[in-house]
């Protein structure tokens, strides 16, 4: 099996502004030091990206992500940001299809698919979010929903781009609720997701794709989740807002 480097990402959502990033980066640097075993990604609001890039400096211990982008290169799209604009700020990753964007901003599988293709062809690595609602889980529709999101989201994505892809499994009932999928539950679903990725690519490609778990990950539950063979990292919301708590999650990931 291909060794997949774990990826721990901090999704700050609409929290922490440019004036907060220097102290955050300083605390994280001291608490974590240089880590080669795993990849760390910080995903601030757009306006904090330049200040964070500066605070991290060259040869940084963490990489930069953005929370969204538009699929077009430029044009009359008021309020939107393109892949090239993100790249110009040294951004490597972009979160696409987050459930908050799907539920509150009307993003469909088709829109997510356009964004994924645009990100990949511009050299950005998508963190492609999928996940079911509680109603879908109770209705035993988890596999059907995930299969649709993955097949539609990755439609016409070139196989050569798959290794750049990160999938984040985020059950909606676990986001910001304090409820987490059990490690066994999450492992089963991650294995299923990998099997669907294999359907739209092939087995050995799917083995290279990293699949993060997201949903109330915190220092207390990170290690058990990250020990599962198909859980290749975490997308952390609430617990990433405090640099010390995010650092603890990173340390747990390194220890696994």
126 vs 215, beta carbon nearer ligand PEP = 215
Q: Min. distance of Cβ 228 from ligand PEP in angstroms?
A: 17
Residue with Cβ nearer ligand PEP (175 or 243): 175
Which residue number places its CB atom closest to ligand PEP?
Answer: 237
Question: Shortest Cβ distance from residue 236 to ligand PEP (Å)?
Answer: 5
Contact 124, 82 (CB under 8 A): no
Q: Considering the complex, state which of residue 11 and residue 187 has its C-beta at the smaller distance from ligand PEP.
A: 11
- Minimum distance, C-beta of residue 256 to ligand PEP, in the bound complex (Å): 18
- Residue (of 177, 166, 167) closest to 238 by Cα position: 177
What's the CA gap between 115 and 126, in Å, rounded? Answer: 9
Shortest distance, CB of residue 99 to ligand PEP, whole angstroms?
7
Token pair 């220890």: residue: 255
**DSSP assigned state of 19:** G
Q: Where are the alpha helices (DSSP H) in the chain?
A: 21-32, 49-56, 83-87, 99-104, 109-121, 134-138, 142-153, 183-200, 203-208, 219-226, 243-255
Alpha-carbon gap, residue 127 to 167, rounded angstroms: 6
The pairing of strands 63-66 and 166-169 is: unpaired
CA-CA distance, 23 to 6, in Å (whole number)?
Answer: 25
Residues that bind ligand PEP (CB under 6 A): 11, 170, 175-176, 214-217, 235-239
**C-beta closer to ligand PEP: residue 165 or 239:** 239
The residues annotated as belonging to the active site are: 98, 170
**Least gap, CB of 164 to ligand PEP (angstroms):** 20
Cα distance between residue 168 and residue 145, in whole Å: 14
Q: Considering the complex, state which of residue 139 and residue 176 has its C-beta at the smaller distance from ligand PEP.
A: 176
């Amino acid at each position: 099996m291909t060794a997949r480097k774990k990826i721990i990402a901090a999704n700050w959502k609409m929290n922490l502004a440019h004036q907060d990033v220097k102290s955050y980066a300083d605390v994280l640097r001291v608490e974590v030091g240089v880590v080669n075993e795993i990849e760390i990604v910080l995903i601030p609001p757009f306006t904090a990206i330049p200040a964070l890039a500066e605070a991290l400096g060259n040869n940084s211990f963490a990489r930069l992500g953005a929370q969204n982008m538009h699929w077009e290169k430029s044009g009359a799209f008021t309020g939107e940001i393109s892949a090239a604009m993100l790249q110009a700020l040294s951004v490597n990753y972009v979160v696409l299809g987050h459930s908050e964007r799907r539920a509150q901003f009307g993003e469909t599988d088709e829109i997510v698919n356009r964004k994924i293709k645009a990100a990949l062809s511009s050299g950005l690595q998508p963190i492609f979010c999928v996940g079911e609602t509680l109603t879908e889980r109770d209705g035993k529709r988890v596999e059907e929903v995930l299969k649709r999101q993955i097949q539609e989201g990755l439609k016409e994505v070139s196989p050569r781009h798959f290794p750049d892809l990160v999938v984040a499994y985020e059950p909606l009932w676990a986001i910001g609720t304090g409820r987490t999928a059990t490690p066994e539950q999450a492992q089963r679903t991650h294995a299923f997701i990998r099997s669907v990725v294999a359907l739209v690519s092939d087995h050995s490609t799917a083995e290279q794709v990293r699949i993060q778990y997201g949903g109330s990950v915190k220092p207390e539950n990170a290690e058990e989740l990250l020990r599962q063979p198909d859980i290749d990292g975490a997308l952390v919301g609430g617990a990433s807002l405090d640099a010390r708590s995010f650092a603890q999650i990173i340390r747990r990931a390194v220890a696994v």
